[in-house]
């Protein structure tokens, strides 16, 4: 079995304590993850701080090249990383699984090289010249979740490095191994100390967010933890980017072609077995096409193979961990107790592993936990509506505001409604369609700041104004 270590200052660092990481499909041991001490974290932060002194002064071209080099080594090691990702996270190798995630890692890493944050000349007159520069912040802490461990890590670390910062990354304790290995691989093309990784138990995240030498935290995870991060980052006013959960509504208008759109709606809801922040979590379907949509989605769900992601033909894996599995079971049981109708699934599957079938729940409405809370699993509530204005109000009646979508044969009408959704991104006739050059961020309790594109890059900088009096 491969061994895994922390990466500090370009070197592998072993720890005395380790934790067992189990495959959520088989409950077999995948590997042992190192448990970092406070001293290990301090060493990683000190290494990042030292590396910052030179990395922040490197030319833009050198840092662009580093992004391209990172994309290339990910490509060279794609086979190993995707297999490890499947074993510890559960997602299949095929479909929108590990291969897809690694592909996204490469695309996002490479794309950072194409963005520019040029010096902006605000005024250049006879009297004065005023320029706006962007400066890196220093050591950035990246704290990542277990649903898309590698892709989200790349989303955090590559723009940070591109803008001249250095990084200490902490993966989720559920899925640390693939991240540890990925950082080891990336270190082959980066100067020592630019990218460090520490894994560990619960105190580690708190230590990082409180650490005085860390200047920014980029965090993806739950809303509750995001609020804690914000509190403990206040000590030295760390910059924050928080990408917290969502409860995305999709509104299907009566003129929607169900046959044409159902596959896309299914994909938008069940991507990564629903364990995706910007997945469809509430599907509002007009009364006139409700039964047809329920029947079509049921057919698609029942034809989608769920199982061990290492096996050929599997398109959906297990739920990643017991905490999330219990949450999903609890939400479906609550829906049943409140009179909802299970169209397919609805009972845990046999065998080892946290398998839950793709589940569609009809005759359910707002006010039920499955609709009001983020399920983050393979379960979709389908809610009937008859009045468009009223359904818009219900869609917006949520503490979350990550994204949403409107579905219709009339693109202009759908776009008008999409503009009235209270969220960071509204899609028309598609959902969760993200791209490296399109900024994405949540409103309300779904977070603050944005990722991707030049706007995302700017989040890893402070502005610095140079004002020259020419008189």
Residues in contact with 169: Cβ distance below 8 Å, sequence separation at least 6, in sequence order: 141, 142, 144, 153, 156, 157, 179, 183, 195, 196, 197, 198
Cα distance between residue 138 and residue 57, in whole Å: 12
- Residue 412 φ/ψ, nearest 5 degrees: -65, -45
Asked about 105 being catalytic, the answer comes back as no
Q: What is the dihedral of CA 426, 430, 431, 436, to 10 degrees?
A: -80
- Stretch of 237-245, 251-259, 333-341, 390-398 contacting ligand NDP, by CB under 6 A: 237-245
Beta carbons of 204 and 198 less than 8 angstroms apart: yes
Helix (H) or strand (E) holding 62: helix 60-76
Among 264, 327, 431, 444, binds ligand NDP (CB under 6 A): 327
- Which position among 356, 376, 385, 452 is part of the footprint of ligand NDP (CB under 6 A)? 376
Nearer to ligand NDP, 200 or 436 (CB): 200
Question: Residues 50-89 vs ligand NDP: string with x where CB under 6 A?
Answer: ----------------------------------------
Phi then psi dihedrals of residue 161, to 5 deg: -70, -40
Scored b (16 or more CB within 10 A) or e, 131-141 reads: eeebebbbbbb
> Of the listed pieces 12-20, 79-87, 200-208, 293-301, which binds ligand NDP according to CB under 6 A?
200-208
In 116-222, alpha helices (H): 149-162, 177-187, 203-210
Q: Among 127-135, 205-213, 339-347, 390-398, which window interacts with ligand NDP (CB under 6 A)?
A: 205-213
Q: Which residue has the tokens 């046999």?
A: 350
Measured distance CA(152)–CA(403) in Å, rounded: 17
Nearer to ligand NDP, 82 or 320 (CB): 320
At closest approach, how far in Å is the CB of 6 from ligand NDP? 14
Per CB under 6 A, the list member of 9, 88, 374, 451 interacting with ligand NDP is 374
Q: By C-beta, is 170 or 444 nearer to ligand NDP?
A: 170
Which secondary-structure segment (H or E) carries 228?
Answer: helix 223-232
Minimum distance of ligand NDP from residue 56's CB (angstroms):
25
Tokens of 249: 């509504």
CB of 50 to ligand NDP, least distance (A): 24
Known catalytic residue: 17?
Answer: no
Residues 305/357, Cβ–Cβ less than 8 Å: no
Catalytic residue among 88, 243, 451, 459: 243
Residue spans of alpha helices (H) in 131-175: 149-162
In three-state secondary structure terms, 250 is strand
Specify the 3-state DSSP secondary structure of 86: helix
202 binds ligand NDP (CB under 6 A): yes
**Cα 56 to chain center, whole Å?**
27
431 binding ligand NDP? (CB under 6 A): no
Under 8 Å between Cβ of 133 and 463: yes
Q: State in angstroms the smallest separation of the CB of 344 from ligand NDP.
A: 23
For ligand NDP, the closer CB: 143 or 343? 143
- Tell me if 6 contacts ligand NDP by CB under 6 A: no
Half-sphere exposure of residue 382, counting CA atoms within 13 Å on the CB side?
26
Q: Pick the piece of the chain touching ligand NDP (CB under 6 A) from 53-61, 186-194, 215-223, 416-424.
A: 215-223
Structure tokens, 279: 């997945």
Nearer to ligand NDP, 113 or 154 (CB): 154
Beta carbon of residue 450, minimum distance to ligand NDP (angstroms, whole number) = 14
- Residues 137-196 touching ligand NDP, rule: CB under 6 A, are 143-147, 170, 172-173
Which strands make up the sheet holding 120-124, listed edge to edge? 120-124, 128-136, 461-469
Of 63 and 327, which has the nearer Cβ to ligand NDP?
327
Query: In the window 269-308, what residues touch ligand NDP (CB under 6 A)?
Result: 277
Q: How far is the CB of 244 from ligand NDP (least distance, A)?
A: 6
Q: Which two structure tokens, joined as six digits, stand for 174? A: 């559920």
Q: Which of 277, 294, 423, 451 is catalytic?
A: 277
Give the residues lining the site for ligand NDP (CB under 6 A): 143-147, 170, 172-173, 201-202, 204-206, 209, 220-222, 225, 228-229, 243-245, 277, 324, 327, 374, 376
Give catalytic residue positions: 243, 277
């Amino acid at each position: 079995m491969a061994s895994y270590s922390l990466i500090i200052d370009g070197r592998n660092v072993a720890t005395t304590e380790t934790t067992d990481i189990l495959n959520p499909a088989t409950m077999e041991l995948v590997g042992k993850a190192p448990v970092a001490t406070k001293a290990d974290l301090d060493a990683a932060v000190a290494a990042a701080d030292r590396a910052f002194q030179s990395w922040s002064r490197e030319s833009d071209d050198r840092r662009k090249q580093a992004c391209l080099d990172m994309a290339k080594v990910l490509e060279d090691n794609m086979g190993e990383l995707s297999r490890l990702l499947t074993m510890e996270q559960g997602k299949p190798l095929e479909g929108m699984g590990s291969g897809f995630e690694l592909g996204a890692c490469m695309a996002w890493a490479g794309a950072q090289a194409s963005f520019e944050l040029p010096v902006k000349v605000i005024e250049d007159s006879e009297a004065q010249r005023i320029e706006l520069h962007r400066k890196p912040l220093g050591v950035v802490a990246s704290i990542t979740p277990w649903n898309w461990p590698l892709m989200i890590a790349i989303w955090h670390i590559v723009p940070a490095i591109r803008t001249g910062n250095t990084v200490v990354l902490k993966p989720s304790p559920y899925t640390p191994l693939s991240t540890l290995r990925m950082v080891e691989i990336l270190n082959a093309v980066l100067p020592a100390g630019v990218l460090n990784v520490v894994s560990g138990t619960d105190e580690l995240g708190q230590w990082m967010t409180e650490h005085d030498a860390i200047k920014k935290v980029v965090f993806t995870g739950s809303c509750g933890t995001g609020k804690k991060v914000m509190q403990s980052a206040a000590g030295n006013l760390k910059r924050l980017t928080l990408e917290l959960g969502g409860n995305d509504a999709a509104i299907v208008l009566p003129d929607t072609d169900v046959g044409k759109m159902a596959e896309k709606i299914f994909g938008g809801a069940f991507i990564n077995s629903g364990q995706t922040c910007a997945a469809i979590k509430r599907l509002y379907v007009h009364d006139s096409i409700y039964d047809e949509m329920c029947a079509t989605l049921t057919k698609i769900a029942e034809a989608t193979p769920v199982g061990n992601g290492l096996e050929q033909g599997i398109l959906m894996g297990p739920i990643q961990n017991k905490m999330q599995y219990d949450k999903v079971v609890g939400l479906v049981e609550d829906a049943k107790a409140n009179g909802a109708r299970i169209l397919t699934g609805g009972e845990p599957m046999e065998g080892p592993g946290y398998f839950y079938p793709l589940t569609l729940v009809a005759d359910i409405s707002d006010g039920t936990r499955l609709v009001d809370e983020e399920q983050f699993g393979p379960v979709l509530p389908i809610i009937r509506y008859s009045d468009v204005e009223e359904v818009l109000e219900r869609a917006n009646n949520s503490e979350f505001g990550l994204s949403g979508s409107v579905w219709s044969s009339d693109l202009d009408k759908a776009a008008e409604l999409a503009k009235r959704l209270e969220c960071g991104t509204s899609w028309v006739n598609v959902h969760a369609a993200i791209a490296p050059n399109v900024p994405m961020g949540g409103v309300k309790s779904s977070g603050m700041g944005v990722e991707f594109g030049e706007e995302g890059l700017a989040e890893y900088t402070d502005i610095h104004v140079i004002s020259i009096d020419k008189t």
